[in-house]
Every structure is written in structure tokens, then in C-alpha cells.
Structure 1
Amino acid sequence: MSRPVVGIIGNQYLINDQYPAHAGGRMNSEAISDVSGCMPMLIPADPRFVSVPELLELCDGFLLTGGRPNVHPSEYGEDVTEAHGEFDQARDAIVLPLVRACVDRGQPFLAICRGFQEVNVAMGGSLYPEIRDLPGRMNHRMPPDGTLEEKFELRHEVTFTKGGVFHGLMGAEKVMTNTLHGQGIKRAGHTIEIDGHAPDGTPEATYVKGASGFTLAVQWHPEWNAAHDPVSRPLFSAFGDAVRDWAGAAQPFDVTRLSA
């Protein structure tokens, strides 16, 4: 019996500063295969090569990954500043309409870091270009030095809404997560439910209110150590269940059934 397919949104890179490539972190594929129980398929997120209707037909669900480039501020009505960093407008052109289409259809997605920010922008929200520059906020960026283990180590708590979706999924109101992001939610999209915060108030966990499918999004990186981390594993397991529901033509995964 074949596994359902999860399209993993890829990012553009230059190998050896010269050779252009679409790539995705192996830990994303490991989490989808080993924990979600689905077949990972890397998607070149560029409208020259793929279209949203094709992706919706080909894949049963989507993993919206992290990535160094940020969503272009024109997508939420703001001007570019130096603080906004690098951009990937080809990815914007695929992922933003893909999010809206998945919400409309009830097709599942799990969003991580940049993906978390894409979901907010797709639903009408905006972003701060640099969280650490805001009064009272901590530095959420990846440590510049150290091993991968040190960069992905657990660095702060996330507190979930009592009785909410993430509380129900995790079985706890507070969990420890890593943090490797510079931007964050400024204005929440009109259907975005913020269901978890960092100690400094930064939104860390959301879903789309009223959506018929799985739309969970997190600002941290649960793909790291996903098979063993007590926060990552239930997230990817629930996503796998949602993808199987969709692939089996069952009713879309009802996110409210996760509520505590």
C-alpha cells in the first residue's frame, strides 16, 4: 500500500556560490517519512516549474519549511528596508496562494518558521522585520556559532492557550522549543488564531480559525530530532493522520478535536 504524499516546499540555493539548486533539509524528509508516515516529495517553489493546481492534485498535504529568505514586504503592503533581509519572490508566488487554496479545500499543511510567517501573510497579516529590535523582545535568531546540536538546542518556553488546540495536542500548557528566526507576526491575519507565545510575547503557534483541515503552524523548528522530541513527535504524528484522512477521501481533519 502506497503512502500518501507530502510536498515539502524547497528553497533556492547556490552550491559553491555558483551552481543554482532547489534543496530541502534532510531532517524535513526524515520527519515526514519516519514520524508522519508519509512519502516526502521536494517541491521546487517557483511558478516557472510548478503551479498551485498541479501541486494540489499531486500531493495529499504540504510541509511549508523554514528558509533564510523572507516573505517580500510588498505582500503585506509595506516597503522594503535593510532589516527585511533577503527575499525569494518565486516561493512567495507559489506558497501564498497554495496556503489559501489548502484552507479553502480543507487540504492539510504543517508550517514551520518561514512557513509560519507565510501562513500569516497569506491570510492577510503582516510581519516585523526584526524581532530582536523591538522593546522587551529577546533575540530569537539562530546562534551564529556552534554545532548543529547547539544551534537547535531548546532555548525558551512556549505557553499555549489553556484548553486550546496545541494544549490538547501536546498534553501540556508549556513546552520547551528551539528558536532560529528573525521575523515574527506583527498583525495577525483575520482568521489566524494565535495559540502559543514565547515568554516575551512573540507568537509561536497558530492555526486558521474556521478552516476545515489541518492548518497548524509553529515558529520554531520541530523537524529537529522529530522522532524523539516530545513536542515535535505529536505535531508530525497528528499531521500524518490528517494527510491520511485527506488521501483516504475521509472528512478533512478537524483541528478542534485536538482541544484539551
Structure 2
Amino acid sequence: MSDTRRHLGCAVVGVTANRHLHDGVHRDWLRRRYIEALTRHASVECVILPTIDRDLPCDAIFQRLRDLMRRLDGLVLTGDESDLDPGIFDRNGGAWALAEDDIVACRTDRPRDRLSMVALMVAEELDMPVLGICRGLQEMNVYRGGTLHEDLSSTHKGISHRENPEIPRDEQYRPVHTVKVASGGLLSSVIEGDELCVNSLHRQGIAELGEGIRVEAVAGDGVVEALSYRNSRTFQLALQWHPEWHASSDVISQKILGAFGRACEAYNAAVH
């Protein structure tokens, strides 16, 4: 990266891609909404982080991603239709090897799981700002040893957390239920309020919290809707909903993205 970029104070963040397999061709992909929202409302530039196959040992991949992320100022863990495989986040590497079902449309994306695991390891080492969105919240919990409900519809009956496939995509991202924001937390300080109405498009959800996690918001049926890392010296926040989708018209989403962007700018100034 050029000195000019640094002098201008423009933070650069890594945004996780997902893997798509179609007609035998592997593609890394990412919805434009993330890039548009981060660029406009967090005032950052974005670099798409590619998914990871098991072609190198975990330690070697960690070193390669560390070398890349040292040039970045923040990490964004995006959402996706796939469910994460908690075994990938086992530090003993028991599920790291390639498998025939690594990529199953709308179900499994282990190349993304590997990317998120290693990216979180590097972000933790560098004490880098992190924003997790939907799947990203679940990854941040499992990374710290937490567990997930595989299907909230079988364990939580009070609120439907899945999107309605019968309505247009844009409407699926409209707010559908409220969440109670914990007082004195990171999210509360950002939004300056104690309740939100959020969208909801997820099948999995947090069962047991990981180590060192603070609950930042909870739905009416007890599902954790936002979390942060207690021991972080910087902004590390995850949301179960999608702030990026209607960020252009939603003030709360703009506040959250703006706070993340300012944390990335501060990290840029302190580290680089």
C-alpha cells in the first residue's frame, strides 16, 4: 500500500468472501451491498479476502493471511446462506482436511469456515477492529468455544428468525422483530438507545456463549442478537441481523458502520 493512502487516513478492511460451486467451477463471491455500505457509511476501502482450500497446513495459511492482514485496518465477517461447521474452528485441526461435501449450496461452505477461522486468529493477534454480520456473529462465538443451535425453529418458538421466501428479496430484509440492547455495552454506546427493530434471516443461532463474550442484545425469545469481545482494546462487535442491506435509509445502521469505520481509522493511525 502506498504512503499516500496512509497519509490520507483512508482505512482499508478485509471482507470475507464465500464459495460458490456451479457447473464444477469454483467461484468466490460477495454481495455488493457490503461493499457499498462499508464504502459509503464506514468510509473505508474494501479488499475481498478469498476462501481457503486445504492445500497447505493451517500454520502456513495463517502466516500468509497474517502477512496480508498486517496491511489492513479491519475485518468484516459477512453473512451467507450456508451454515458454519464448528469442527473447522477446533484449534486441534480435526476437521481441517478436505471432504467431498465441503461445498453444498445453501448448507455447507468449509472454505469460508477456514477463512473465517484463520482471519479471526490473525485479528486477535493484531487486536484489529472486527465487525461480524449474521453468519459472522456465529463464527465469532464458535471461535471462542461457543456452540450453536442448528435450527432455531426447533428450539425457539416465539419468533420466526427465518426470512419469508414468498416475498421479494428487498422486503425480506425489512425489520421484523425487536431486540433489547444491554445497557453499558459497546452497542448501546454506539446507537444511544436500548431497543431496536431488526431484520432476521438466519437458521442457526447461539446456544452457549464462548469465552470472554459479552451479550450486547437479545431478542424477545432469548436468542442472542449481538455480542462483543470483552478483552478487546478495539471495536469488535457482531450482529445477528444485516445492517448493510438498508444502510442508505437506516440511521442505526449508519451509526454502527460509522463507529466501525472510525475504529479502523484509529487503528490505521496507531499501527501504521
> What's the TM-score bracket when you normalise by the shorter of the two chains?
0.7 to 0.9
1:168 to 167, 189, 202: 189
Matches within 5 A, 1:109-258: 109-249=130-270
For residue 33 of structure 1, the aligned residue among 22, 31, 39 is 39
Cα offset, 1:212, TM superposition: 1.4
Runs of 4+ with deviation above 4 angstroms: 47-50
Shift of residue 75 of structure 1?
4.2
- Give the distance between the partners of 1:148 and 1:135, measured in 2 at CA: 24
- TM-score normalised to structure 1 length: 0.87
Kindly indicate whether the alpha-carbon contact (under 8 Å) linking 2:50 and 2:115 is maintained by their aligned counterparts in 1.
no
Deviation at 1:167, TM superposition (A): 1.4
Matched, 1:20 2:26: yes
**1: distance between equivalents of 2:21 and 2:89?**
28
Q: Please state how far the C-alpha of 1:43 moved relative to its aligned partner.
A: 1.4
Unmatched runs of 5 consecutive residues or more in structure 1:
80-84, 252-260
User: Aligned partners of 1:176, 1:215: CA distance in 2, in Å?
Assistant: 21
Identity of aligned pairs, percent? 29
1:59 aligns with 2:72: yes
Distance in structure 1 (CA, Å) of the matches to 2:175 and 2:141: 24
> What is the count of residue pairs matched by the alignment?
245
Is residue 88–residue 114 contact of structure 2 (8 Å, CA) maintained in 1?
no
SS at match of 1:8: strand
Q: Quick check: 1:108–1:215 contact (8 Å CA) kept in 2?
A: yes
Following the alignment from structure 2 to structure 1, what is the Cα–Cα distance between the partners of residues 129 and 31? 21
Secondary structure of the residue aligned to 1:216 is: strand
CA RMSD in angstroms, aligned pairs only: 2.3
TM-score for the superposition, normalised by structure 2? 0.83
Q: 1:8 aligns with which of 15, 34, 54?
A: 15
Deviations 1:182-239 (A, max 9, x none): 0011110011111100111100010001111211000001111213212211110000
Shift of 1:100: 3.1
The corresponding residue for 2:102 is: none
User: For residue 164 of structure 2, what is the amino acid of its counterpart?
Assistant: P
- The Cα offsets for residues 73-109 of structure 1, whole Å up to 9 and x where unpaired, read as 32477x9xxxxx7222222222113213313321111
User: What is the rounded CA distance, in whole Å, between the counterparts of 1:109 and 1:184 in structure 2?
Assistant: 19
